[in-house]
């Protein structure tokens, strides 16, 4: 948390875990590994990976997520630019002609 990195946050996987905000992302990774059965039942918010909610509640969370506004604001504030041409994935490089004959 930018405002208070020392603030305690409750873990969404194990309710009695209280983690400092600055350590929360690291805790989520380890706690998911330690509790795979609980982690399977939770879904990750597309706007903030720190938001883990029951899978059944994900669509409701997406509609109400505070971080959704930040994403929408970012998309709206970008200057509209014409789409750039996609680079060709096929290589057009050719080896230069070689006068060497390794057989002679």
Q: Backbone phi, then psi, for 10, in 5-degree steps?
A: -80, 135
Buried b (16+ CB within 10 A) or exposed e, 32-59: beebeeebeebbebebeebbbbeeeebe
Give per-residue pLDDT as tens, 20-79. Answer: 999 999 999 999 999 999 999 999 999 998 999 999 999 999 999 988 877 666 665 666
- pLDDT tens digit sequence for 69-94: 776 666 656 666 655 665 666 677 77
Domain layout of the chain by residue ranges: 1-35, 41-73
């Amino acid at each position: 948390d930018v405002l208070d990195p020392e603030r305690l946050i409750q873990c969404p996987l194990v309710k009695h875990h209280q983690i400092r905000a600055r350590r929360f992302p690291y805790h989520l990774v380890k706690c998911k590994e330690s509790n795979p059965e609980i982690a399977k039942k939770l879904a990750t918010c597309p706007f903030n990976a720190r938001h883990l909610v029951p899978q059944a509640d994900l669509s409701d969370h997406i509609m109400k997520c505070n971080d959704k506004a930040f994403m929408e604001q970012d998309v709206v504030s970008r200057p509209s630019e014409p789409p750039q041409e996609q680079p060709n994935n096929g290589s057009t490089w050719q080896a230069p002609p070689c006068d060497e004959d390794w057989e002679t």
